[in-house]
Amino acid sequence: MYKKYDYLVVGAGLFGATFAREMTDAGYKCLVIDRRDHIGGNVYTEKKNNIDVHVYGAHIFHTNSDRIWEYVNRFAEFNNYINKPKVRFDGNIYSFPINLMTLHQLWGVTTPAEAEEKLKEVRIPCENPDNLEDWILSQVGPEIYQTFIRGYTMKQWQRDPKELPASIIKRLPIRLIFEENYFFDKYQGIPVNGYTSMVTNMLEGIEVQTGVEYFQDKDEFDSMAHTTVFTGKVDEYFDYRYGELEYRTLRFEHEELEGDFQGNAVVNYTHPEVPFTRILEHKHFQPQTAQNIPNTIVTREYSAEYSRGKTPYYPINDERNTTLYKKYAVLKKEQHNVIFGGRLSEYKYYDMHQVIGSALQKSKKEVENRKQNDYNITNT
């Protein structure tokens, strides 16, 4: 049966844009659709008064992969931004992530040896720390836990840290050197002209429709293409057959001000009584121009419970949701001519480079499969 497109890509975020780019370059025809009125997914940026605003929260690209760094640089020039967030707690500002400067600010230690000795004093041993609280206490003790971790975690997840897996906090660096760079990756930066420009370049020459609701006419959309690439919520795709997976969502308050608000792109507010989790000052994501911009735009970020109609950001990978996702994973394997990809479809926390890497891997496999199928048909 004739199909107008080889691939219907549902979602114009990084996974969808990468997959569509690769399949188009391999000679296949793609249609990309998105329910939002713009491309880029959550990395969407919007220029306001010469400032690229990260509309859906801060996105700093980082990777150790030469291949992925070379890939994104095909579509954008990156600046030299280095992520050095700060923490504000009880009126004090601390270096973050936890490093020797942080420990100096807390305890007055000045060398790695002094810091290690102090940490030995304050650690609370735990034989098998399987939850977030026990793990962090076993690493850095109660003062650092209370100052940097507990309040922020409770606001972010709306759960007691004892109910969360240790894997959530193990991503947090703890260093006994004067190193404030949050990421230790080989490459790091932000597109000079914003992420929207980068994704626009990725989708050049590809048909894109925004403001389109796939589920309002799913059968019709699916009939247009040989294969559907779905990047949305996996439970929604299957009409919540086994129940809803849980997510955390975010709410943002944007404000334009004169001058410079906080002197840094990201400041985390870790006290539990402060309602927001962090404040972003967007012009500082572009250090090459920040000092030349007289105004500023700040965003207060609030974590919230997810419900249908809101934007899902973070999968909650606790025992209940992990068990539920496994049921949907079985259904995914039973689908023909459907490829699932991205954070929501795989119910997995992905950084940007991981999303792109996954899309590159799946598109490569798809090209190989299509070539093999074409070969088999030709030689039958």
Which residues are within 8 A (CB) of 366 and not within 5 positions of it... i.e. 6 or more apart? 23, 227, 339
Rg of the chain on CA atoms, in Å: 23
Q: Residue 280: what residue type?
A: L
SS3 38: coil
User: 88, 150, 278, 343: which is the annotated catalytic residue?
Assistant: 278
Q: Between the CA of residue 360 and those of 59, 68, 365, what are the distances in Å?
A: 20, 9, 9
Task: Please confirm, yes or no, whether 300 is among the known catalytic residues.
Answer: no
- Per residue in 102-132, is it b (16+ CB within 10 Å) or e — as a string? bbbebbebeeeebbeebbeeeeeeeeebebb
Amino acid at 75: F
- Could you say which of 22, 301, 346, 366 is catalytic? 301
Name the helix (H) or strand (E) containing 30. strand 30-34
DSSP code of 149? I
Instruction: Tell me the two tokens of residue 284.
Output: 């500082």
d(CA 9, CA 221): 10
Catalytic-residue membership of 278: yes
Catalytic residue among 242, 302, 314, 349: 349
Give which of 314, 252, 307, 270 is closest to 154, Cα–Cα: 270
Of these residues, 175, 246, 343, 346, which one is catalytic? 175
DSSP structural state of residue 244: P
Q: Is 127 tagged catalytic?
A: no
3-state secondary structure (DSSP) of residue 321 = helix
Does the active-site annotation cover 301? Answer: yes
Q: Which two tokens stand for residue 154?
A: 């409770």
Has 248 been annotated as catalytic? yes
Helix (H) or strand (E) holding 198: helix 195-202
User: Using the 8-state DSSP alphabet, how is residue 291 labeled?
Assistant: G
CA distance 246 to 305: 9
Residue 59 dihedral angles phi and psi, to the nearest 5°: -135, 110
Of 21, 88, 150, 248, the catalytic one is: 248
DSSP state at residue 74: T
> Catalytic: which of 121, 171, 273, 334?
171
Q: 348 exposed, middle or buried (CB, 10 Å; 0-12, 13-18, 19+)?
A: middle
Helix/strand/coil for 327: helix
Smallest CA-to-CA distance from 205 within 35, 14, 32 is with: 32
Q: Which residues participate in catalysis according to the annotation?
A: 171, 175, 248, 278, 301, 349, 351
